[in-house]
Amino acid sequence: MELMKISLYLTFMITITTLSLQHKHLMMALMCVETMMLIVFTMLVMFTSTSLTMSQVPMPIILLTISVCGAAVGLSLVVAITRTHGNDFLKNLNLL
């Protein structure tokens, strides 16, 4: 069980590093964020199953619902940016 927790922490840190180094495509950055949310979901499920606290049982489902909503918004932004700019390069966007 400890090996699983360590591997999840390591995967989360690698995903954060990948997100900070991702400067080219918006879609790749959104995929890194979605991976982070899935790792957090997995950690929440593991921790709530070991603690057996009934007040924390709905938290992973709420997090997964918010994550899916964020993914839908991110995908719609990628589609809108691709339609207006022709690609999803972050260099071409003026975010200021």
Could you please state the CATH topology (level 3) that the domain comprising 2-85 is classified under.
Answer: Helix Hairpins (1.10.287)
Q: What is the pLDDT of residues 15-32, one digit of tens each?
A: 999 988 877 888 888 899
Question: Where do the domains of the chain lie?
Answer: 2-85
Cβ-based burial of 18 (10 A; exposed 0-12, middle 13-18, buried ≥19): middle
Structure tokens at 14: 């690698």
pTM value > 0.85: no
What pLDDT does residue 82 have?
Answer: 86
What pLDDT does residue 23 have?
Answer: 77
Spell out, as residue ranges, where the chain has pLDDT lower than 50.
Answer: 96
Give the integer Cα–Cα distance in Å for 18 and 31.
10
